[in-house]
Structure 1
Amino acid sequence: MAEAKSSKKKQRRSVPNGQLHVQATFNNTIVTFADSKGNALTASSAGACGFRGSKKGTAYAAQIAAEKAAEAAKSGYGLRTVDVFVKGVGLGRDAAIRALSTFDITVNSIKDVTGVPHGGVRPRKARRA
């Protein structure tokens, strides 16, 4: 019979300052807390919070998703200050950042990292005369 291995409970590391990544599309809002190097700690989205269909793209859904992720980051990792990176054009851009104030997480900076096309899409072929 094999010996039972004694397993220690994994110690969660303390991350006092990190990053908040908000991806706000028209259909959903994804909120991710990361450490200062960019390694993800916790994440949540409007769809994961139970919103379905067109309600996923609302500002309220983004607020609930941010609160859920912030609660996990605050209690699990002791996060206190964040640099915010916002990507996309959805309604949840501002709502996700405002939700942090209820958890006493200080925002150091807010940066927009939305992608900008350099050349655009390929044009249609020329019409035959």
Structure 2
Amino acid sequence: MKKIREIKKISSRNKNNINKIFRGVIHIQSSVNNTIITVTDILGQVVSWTSAGTSGFRGTRKRTPYVVQVTACNVSNQIINRGITQVEVFLKGPGIGRDVALRTIRRNGILLNLVRDVTPIPHNGCRPPKKRLL
């Protein structure tokens, strides 16, 4: 019985104590219909994430640059509260929100150390479908 109470006390202390992180990595996955922004520490453990849907937008509004700006602003506020000041940014996908998200993060006072495009490009691609019979 004592051990269970001690474990509960320790875990509640850890929840109240937020570890400060100074450097992080932002992954921006921008598709045609949505933009997902994930923030990790250097080891790859997720610190926070958000998307256009979690920012309160639905349907075709999720693909607009304004919604990406709001989403990036939410993420940057969460990052600043955690103490992250320097980030590396990895962009993935062909969507509209790539540049808008970068500009918004930079405007909110976060220093960008590295910006890299990690969009997967097929070297040979899939096998094409067979020719149509006439």
Match for 2:101: what amino acid? Answer: A
Q: Tell me whether 1:39 sits opposite 2:45 in the alignment.
A: yes
Distance 2:70 2:117 in 1: 21
- C-alpha contact (below 8 Å) 1:33/1:70 kept by paired residues: no
Gaps spanning 5+ residues in structure 2: where? none
| Greater displacement, 49-58 / 22-31 | 49-58
Match for 2:30: what amino acid? Answer: A
Offset of 1:40 from its aligned partner? 1.2
**Corresponding residue SS for 2:129:** coil
**Corresponding residue SS for 2:74:** helix
Partner of 1:107: 112
Match for 1:122: what amino acid? Answer: R
1:54-69 alignment, distance < 5 Å: 54-69=60-75
Offset of 1:128 from its aligned partner? 4.9
Partner of 2:80: 74
Return closer, same or farther for 1:20/1:124 CA change in 2, 3 Å cut-off. Answer: same
Say which structure is richer in helix: 2
**Corresponding residue SS for 1:120:** coil
Distance 2:61 2:126 in 1: 30
**Corresponding residue SS for 1:8:** helix
Partner of 2:94: 89
Offset of 1:105 from its aligned partner? 0.6
Match for 1:36: what amino acid? Answer: I
Partner of 1:50: 56
Residues 54-112 of structure 1: per-residue CA shift (max 9 Å, x gap): 1111111111111111111210x200010110001111001111111343111111100
Distance 1:115 1:58 in 2: 23
Gaps spanning 5+ residues in structure 1: where? none
Partner of 1:17: 23
Return closer, same or farther for 1:123/1:105 CA change in 2, 3 Å cut-off. Answer: same
Partner of 1:123: 128
Q: TM-score, normalised by structure 2?
A: 0.85
